[in-house]
Structure 1
Amino acid sequence: RKVGDGKIGIILNLTPSYPRSDHPADVKASRIADLFFNRSFLDPSVLGGYPQELIDLLAAHDHLPAVREGDRELMKQNTIDLLGVNYYQPRRVKAKEHLPNTEAPFMPEWFFDHYEMPGRKMNPYRGWEIYEKGIYDIMMNLKENYGNIESFVSENGMGVQDEERFEQDGMIHDDYRIDFIRGHLEWLHTAIEEGCQAKGYHLWTFMDNWSWMNAYKNRYGFYQVDLDTMERKPKKSAHWFKEVSTQNGF
């Protein structure tokens, strides 16, 4: 709720779900993946309630959580003012090729299989797909289905292992990161031009950091961190992003 002139919000990992094809089974799989991973968080936070399709799906499998009197009204009265968006890669799915094991724990993957699209653009150092248009699709979804809520990109970036190999004259030349950021900013700018309320862009991360998943294996920052001396040095991307910020464009 509003606190003085402040705004209350949250940050969500929003990963668009793209179907393998236009076949109804693939489209249904994509829609269910979106229900579990995006709408189950977005709808209550922004719209004040859960999507009926998700409620029906969980009820059919006897997995609805306990709901007490007043819960729905409480949710409806406490939607957010501001949304942070974390986006790294798309989720590509297809219809299930095999029936799920109904004796196993109930999981979203009962309803879809992951799909590796041929010819996809990849971050070869991290093994993640790079799909810049995903950031546009997220913002357009917020505009069209979530009241065009005020938002910002809270996390976006790419991890690269052994970045020291790209060091020249005392600076890491991370042109791959510049290309990554530029591609996402172009699509974000397009979304803003089309009326989306995207107010900012934050890279993950300012300087190389420790990761819950892989410690210091991959580096993500604008600034290189020497783990032995703790010295911090700007990479080429830091200088580039400073210019972009100063000029408000590229």
Structure 2
Amino acid sequence: MKKLLNNIKNFFVTIGKYLWNKKLIIGLWLILIAFFAIGGIYTNKMVESRPEDVTEDAQRYYDEVELLDLEYNFDAETLGTSVYIATFTYEGNTYKTFIDKTFCYVEMIEGEELSLIIMSAVKHHAEQEELLQNIAYLVSYDSTTKTVVLEAEGFAGVINVEVVLNSTLDGVSSYTITSQENYDNEYNTDYAGASAPSVENTMFNQYINSGNTVVDTVAGASVGTGVAMQELITLLDLFIDSLEGGN
């Protein structure tokens, strides 16, 4: 017992000497911790007490901007980064601009360059008014190989579809689907088919065989998968129409 007590005593003595030798370092760490803690409190207070006119100013621009139209961009040279074309009015003038899939400003098409706060008002209206689904996107188009790449946000992740158009550019020659979906799980107990991309392939084949963008999903599969593929097929069909058979 006496030996155990001596061992405990020696342990604390050793720790005490170590802390004494390292007191300068510990002190510096305590100062840094206090500095960041005080800084965080100050920052929070500044955010909480910021002037209300900042919000009011933003609201003023939201009210002055009117979003007239939001459409897909089918220009092969700007696909990918410029996903949509937004048409809007501001101070009596009409503007057109490219925006990305998060509705952020990319480049002005018609009209003078505007301030970012006005473009944030365009983004605000695009998000709130939901003029389109914003689920499927055109990623790229190679006119040499006639290859279109599209993506859609499914239930479990991104669905990627690579389509090779036919020689007359009015239909599909072949396609490849890569999917992160998993519809054979506890949320879809009624599904009895094969693993992904079985559902995506089935829906895409319906579109190719019927020429109709309204396709049926597969019973028991995730609703998110069906919605994503429906939007992707609709977008592909619109893009093919925009090519006008290559004319």
TM-score by length of 2: 0.26
* More strand by percentage: 2
Structure with the greater relative contact order (CA < 8 A, sep ≥ 6): 1 or 2?
Answer: 1
TM-score by length of 1: 0.26
* More helix by percentage: 2
